[in-house]
């Protein structure tokens, strides 16, 4: 290994004592490859196993905590105890290769396709489409409480299925994000209104998940939280709003925070004084040493990773790049970083061990992956 990459591949220890063998994590990515009943498939297990040998931790694609929270076709479920054997297969497939397995848990809210939802599509408040037709109805306060409980129940299932942790998915426009956004949360109860009240739902989920972990798991079980930096719309939440949320979350004794970025070095739109200063700088300054932050976003080459790591972020997640080149970490370990592939090879689906539904999505979505 070349000397300059030694720190990137050095061990990292969380405050609860769990050690990662290096600083490189597989980012959560939807793969559309479970069966119709929400069970993990062989193709899915093989896809994860292929990428779990050299990274230190794998954060899975999101799993729904309730039947009406399924956000994608081919998503594996975590909403009932019947799903525990399926969840266990995936945890085992990852852990057998030497990586920590973290289950990402979520509810899709208004993003759920109606044909995948049992009952109504729901959100923080009523959402209408461009024709004024209802896309989602507002959750009652009792239903909000039920969903908070459901996050706890899916956490228990993750513990029973042998995962090393869960990541609460509060990003990318899904239900937790919808509650935090003034654009989709028009509630007048304790879950909406001011910035503080819009934080109530995410914070209640954090507390519920932590209480379940305390009751059912040992202290080595990790709890992380993923968030988006801001919304593009003027009426959405700003970078300043997110810094207030992150500042609060950093005091909640979480094991890590995880920002969702398409570009690691992107800059804020609004809500902060200096919009030329990268979002990651703002986040690292706000969090300080209270909890580790996972950085992510268009990191392809070893040089990209080194540049990102030098900002002071302790952990890096790679998503698309680990699909393009599952041997990314190994090549750095062996001093072969010049051989890292940074564009998808459309002829190598079988060699890359990518399930058909995910491969079709990659090949048919121009601009998502380099080389397409």
pLDDT tens-digit map of 57-73: 999 999 999 999 999 99
The secondary element (H helix, E strand) that includes residue 59 is strand 57-64
What is the model's pLDDT at position 142? 98
What is the model's pLDDT at position 111? 96
Look up residue 77 and give its DSSP letter: B
Which domain, by its residues, includes 299?
Answer: 3-363
pLDDT category of residue 215 using cuts at 50, 70 and 90:
very high
- The answer as to whether 370 is a domain residue is no
- The answer as to whether 119 is a domain residue is yes
pLDDT tens-digit map of 138-169: 999 999 999 999 999 999 999 999 999 999 99
- The answer as to whether 369 is a domain residue is no
Residue 130 has pLDDT above 90, yes or no: no
- Cα(13)–Cα(34) distance, integer angstroms: 33
What is the model's pLDDT at position 118? 81
Residue 231 near residue 177, CB atoms below 8 Å: no
- Cα(78)–Cα(280) distance, integer angstroms: 32
Q: Across residues 311-319, what is the average pLDDT? A: 97
pLDDT tens-digit map of 254-296: 999 999 999 999 999 999 999 999 999 999 999 999 999 999 9
Determine how β-strand 19-20 pairs with β-strand 12-13: antiparallel
pLDDT category of residue 306 using cuts at 50, 70 and 90:
very high
Residue 327 near residue 268, CB atoms below 8 Å: no
Q: State the Cα angle at 83 between 95 and 174, rounded to 5°.
A: 85
Q: Across residues 45-59, what is the average pLDDT? A: 98
- Cα(32)–Cα(9) distance, integer angstroms: 31
- Cα(14)–Cα(223) distance, integer angstroms: 11
Q: Across all residues in the chain, what is the average pLDDT? A: 97
Q: How many CA atoms lie within 13 A of 13 on its CB side?
A: 3
- The answer as to whether 368 is a domain residue is no
What is the model's pLDDT at position 1? 86
163 as an active site residue: the answer is no
Task: State the CATH number of the domain containing residue 108.
Answer: 3.20.20.70
Closest CA to 46 of 341, 364, 360, 351: 351
- The answer as to whether 265 is a domain residue is yes
pLDDT tens-digit map of 217-261: 999 999 999 999 999 999 999 999 999 999 999 999 999 999 999
The 3-state DSSP composition of the chain as helix, strand, coil percent (nearest 5) reads: 35, 15, 50
Q: Specify the number of domains making up the chain.
A: 1
- The answer as to whether 371 is a domain residue is no
Residue 78 near residue 30, CB atoms below 8 Å: no
- The answer as to whether 289 is a domain residue is yes
- Cα(170)–Cα(64) distance, integer angstroms: 13
Tokens of residue 131, six digits: 């024709």
Q: Of 48, 174, 225, 256, which residue is the catalytic one?
A: 174
Residue 270 near residue 313, CB atoms below 8 Å: no
pLDDT-above-70 percentage for the chain: 100
What is the model's pLDDT at position 2? 87
Does this model's pTM top 0.85? yes
- The answer as to whether 165 is a domain residue is yes
- Cα(289)–Cα(312) distance, integer angstroms: 11
pLDDT-above-90 percentage for the chain: 97
What is the model's pLDDT at position 331? 98
């Amino acid at each position: 290994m070349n000397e300059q990459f030694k720190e990137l591949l050095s061990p990292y220890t969380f405050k609860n004592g769990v050690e990662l063998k290096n600083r490189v994590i597989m980012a959560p990515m939807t793969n559309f490859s479970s069966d119709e009943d929400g069970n993990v498939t062989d193709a899915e297990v093989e896809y994860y196993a292929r990428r779990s040998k050299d990274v230190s931790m794998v954060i899975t694609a999101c799993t729904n905590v309730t039947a009406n929270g399924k956000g994608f076709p081919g998503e594996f479920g975590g909403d009932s105890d019947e799903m525990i054997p399926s969840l266990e297969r995936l945890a085992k497939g990852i852990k057998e290769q030497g990586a920590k397995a973290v289950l990402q848990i979520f509810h899709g809210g208004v993003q759920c396709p109606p044909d995948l939802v049992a009952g109504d599509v729901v959100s923080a408040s009523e959402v209408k489409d461009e024709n004024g037709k209802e896309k989602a109805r507002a959750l009652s306060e009792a239903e909000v409480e039920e969903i908070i409980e459901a996050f706890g129940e899916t956490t228990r299932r993750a513990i029973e299925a042998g995962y090393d942790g869960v990541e609460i998915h509060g990003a990318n426009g899904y239900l937790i994000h919808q509650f935090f956004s003034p654009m989709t949360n028009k509630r007048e109860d304790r879950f909406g209104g001011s910035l503080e009240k819009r934080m109530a739902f995410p914070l209640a989920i954090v507390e519920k998940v932590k209480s379940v972990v305390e009751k059912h798991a040992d202290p080595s079980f990790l709890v992380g939280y993923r968030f988006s930096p801001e919304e593009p719309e003027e009426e959405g939440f700003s970078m300043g709003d997110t810094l207030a949320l992150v500042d609060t979350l950093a005091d909640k004794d979480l094991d890590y925070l995880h920002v969702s970025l398409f570009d690691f070095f992107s800059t804020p739109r609004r809500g902060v004084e200096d919009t030329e200063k990268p979002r990651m700088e703002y986040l690292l300054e706000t969090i300080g040493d209270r909890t580790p932050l996972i950085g992510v976003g268009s990191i392809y080459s070893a040089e990209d990773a080194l540049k990102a790591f030098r900002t002071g972020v302790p952990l890096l997640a790679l998503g698309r790049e680990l699909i393009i080149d599952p041997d990314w970490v190994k090549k750095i370990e062996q001093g072969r970083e010049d051989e890292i592939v940074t564009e998808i090879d459309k002829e190598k689906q079988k060699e890359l061990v990518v399930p058909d539904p995910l491969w079709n999505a990659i090949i048919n979505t121009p601009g998502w992956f380099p080389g397409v």
